[in-house]
Structure 1
């Protein structure tokens, strides 16, 4: 289960609200104090201290700061016997309101507690500072800029040629054509599945999954698609699996991360359920919502493929800044986000516009280019974060304007998450069947 932390926007509004971060290396542990809502710039610490300090694993941080003695003033004072690196913006403050996001520990600290072991550094980067240095232009221009800046590649005529991304298999290309054709049905899908042994085996495996609880035995591909799974589900799962197989899952990911396929399936499942609860006049197509949910994090794999030396750095920054939106951390490190590269690649592979547009704006659901697909996936992802089933900072209340635009309520969404968790065992088994292929 993911260890979600609050965005701190609700609890950090004063100038002396600071975030406490625990780092370590082979020399020992250190404490970092910086303005609560900014990004901790690890590279600054490495450069100025000549120590390659790393974030402590999230569940270890939670355990460390949940010690009972830290609820007392004596224990809090003793904590500062560790070396302290403090951001220059905080060094002159007489009293600090300390916030540790993993454990929820909060207390006030007097400057005298940490003066003896304090070292002042420039540690924090604000979100506005991150935005100021982002390249301008459309997504392809931004991706090209990032590739040229952070790799040895030089962009040629076609960006997709430069990146060395594998082409999609013929079966996958046929399924994309079916997905984009509103008139396509089971009669055209069954022959495509039958001529691909791997896809046929997957379809049979899905059809007997406890999650679908099909009555009777499944005798054939036709039976599996027509009686149990249906056109939409088979097309969407086949596309999700095929695209997931084009690139390997990264190894050096943030610790305590939700497994890729688990987050994909849970987001797709919840988003589809929410779409079906929306009124007919604004309801997005549930099948395309499911596909967008299944692929919503695909750009994360693409980032690992494009920027392998920097991907480990990105993982450490995510661990050190669990309160920040993931796209801002990616902008700071790479100047491009997973949503930008994922959506751009899906567009170049001719997936439906609803899918790539829904993914592109899931972090910006009120953007003028966002639509119901972005909004319902945004709500699903953030609701799953609240239950520890998806990665990223946790807002205790879902975006009220997005709720209004979708006609959904926090209570309805919470109820759907709870209903989905009733099926968690069979849903996880289904997730494992996807991850194993």
Structure 2
């Protein structure tokens, strides 16, 4: 789930543990906690405490008092140099929202100075230079035993797309394609046919009367765009296995995909006509916005568990900065590159690529509206990542208002049960 971004002027308090017990870490609130630095310095494999346990620990009644806060520092405390010399620190714990002022005398006897924080500029300086393919190649060569000799996608062990999926991509990319060309493709694939029939009776679409055939399901209930988009989302999701060792308390992959796609499409339809992107392609961009996360798990299995622990330890920090620090490549870079190599529409892979930087010169309405949807869903507890206010410049650029986004979120809350059912049908296939 999302987590409030820490006050940048504060010191962040982090709780770690291992079989020897708990320790605290104090570092600048905006910095990444570098777990590897702690492991090397202490020769202990300290791990972040599970988010809900952190919330429970710091919500104890005794920690709401100055005396209880002072006693907290009887635990060992690792202090980043930037915080070490300050006589008092404004402290924040992001999971529980606990805030207090800690006097240096409280932790002087238990303090161990240790360089554990990295700023965003530190991370950016360490990144390889070049275009996305060069960056991906560098990361794969550095962190795996693979060596790049031919086209990257042929070397990474990524499965090829099924013939039906390739046909659907061709239809998605053909602006003149319609239901008459889609129905035969669906009918010859038993799995897709069953899926389409399942979607058509979903309470979310609430079709009147009974559905008699594939033609009926597509023409009368679902439509060309929705069937193509959901079929592509499932097909790409099935090419790789969802990872097991994910950050604890993470929003399930398909729930986040469906909710982001749904809200992004609804917001696109609210944009002024002269700047409105194609809602169907917005839906697909939202559905696939996190696909690169699965690809990272496939490419870097030894490091994926470490990535999960870093995400848990740094709930205030954007995922792309954590991924850059550990892997030197982000889920958006690698997901967009793979979608481009599979010939998905340019609007989709470009929308995914610039999801975290929607005001980039190459970003357009697709990345902008999906970005807004994702950030709004974090505030509602339906997506992962730090909770941040919506960018006013971006709202102006898309012609959307906070009130419109809030209204669409409320409508989704009313439709939550039906959306959850749709999510289950996607996750089960």
**Above 0.5 in TM-score?**
yes
Partner of 1:384: 377
2:300 is aligned to: 307
Counterpart-to-counterpart distance in 2, 1:341 and 1:205? 32
Q: Which residue of 2 aligns with 1:413?
A: 405
Q: Distance in 2 between matches of 1:228 and 1:237?
A: 14
Provide structure 2 residue ranges, at least 5 long, that are not aligned to the other structure.
Answer: none
State yes or no: 1:28 paired with 2:21: yes
Aligned residue number for residue 242 of structure 2: 249
2:8 to 6, 12, 34: 12
Alignment partner for residue 128 of structure 1, among 117, 121, 126? 121
Q: What SS does the corresponding residue of 1:89 show, helix, strand or coil?
A: helix
Q: What is the deviation of 1:353?
A: 0.1
- Tell me which residue corresponds to 2:142: 149
Aligned to 2:192: 199
Q: Which residue of 2 aligns with 1:91?
A: 84
Query: Of residues 46, 55, 61 in structure 2, which corresponds to 1:53?
Result: 46
Per-residue displacement from partner, 1:9-35 (whole Å, max 9, x unpaired)? xx333xxx2100000000001000011
SS at match of 1:5: strand
Question: Can you list the C-alpha shifts for 1:151-188, whole angstroms capped at 9, x where unaligned?
Answer: 01111121111101000000000000000000000000
1:125 CA drift (Å): 0.4
Distance 1:89 1:186 in 2: 62
Deviation at 1:62, TM superposition (A): 0.7
Q: Distance in 2 between matches of 1:401 and 1:109?
A: 37
- Aligned equivalents of 1:191, 1:58: Cα separation in 2: 48
- SS of structure 1 residue aligned to 2:236: helix
Show CA shifts across 1:346-382 (max 9, x none): 0000000000000000100000000000000000000
Partner Cα separation in structure 1 for residue 155 and residue 313 of structure 2: 32
Q: Secondary structure at the match of 1:351?
A: coil
What SS does the corresponding residue of 1:76 show, helix, strand or coil?
helix
CA displacement at 1:117 relative to structure 2:
1.1
Alignment match of 2:263 (pick from 253, 262, 270): 270
Other structure's SS at 1:107 match = strand
Residue of structure 2 in register with 1:400 after alignment:
392
Q: Structure 1 residue 90: deviation in Å?
A: 1.3
* TM-score where L is the length of structure 2: 0.99
- Aligned Cα root-mean-square deviation (Å): 0.6
Q: TM-score, normalised by structure 1?
A: 0.98
Q: How does 1:159-174 map to 2 (within 5 A)?
A: 159-174=152-167
Number of the residue aligned with 1:108: 101
SS of the equivalent of 2:84 reads coil
Deviations 1:46-93 (A, max 9, x none): 000000000000011011111111111110011011111111221111
SS in 1 for 2:3: coil
SS at 1:211's partner residue? coil
Deviations 1:403-436 (A, max 9, x none): 0110001111011011011000010001000000
- 1:368 paired with 2:364, answer no
| Cross-structure match for 2:422 | 430
- What secondary structure sits across from 2:83 in the alignment? coil
Q: 2:324 is matched with which residue: 309, 320, 331? A: 331
SS at match of 1:78: helix
Question: Which string of whole-angstrom CA distances, capped at 9 and with x for unpartnered residues, describes residues 239-270 of structure 1?
Answer: 00000000000000000000000000000000
Q: Does 1:71 align with 2:67?
A: no
Q: 1:298 aligns to what?
A: 291
CA distance in 1, matches of 2:332, 2:165: 22
In 2, Cα distance between equivalents of 1:61 and 1:77: 18
**Alpha-carbon deviation of 1:7?**
1.6
Matched, 1:234 2:234: no
- For the residue of structure 2 that corresponds to 1:93, the secondary structure is coil
- Residue 138 (1) aligns with residue 136 (2): no
**Offset at 1:217?**
0.5
* 1:176-217 Cα shifts (integer Å, max 9, x gaps): 000000000000000000000000000000000111111111
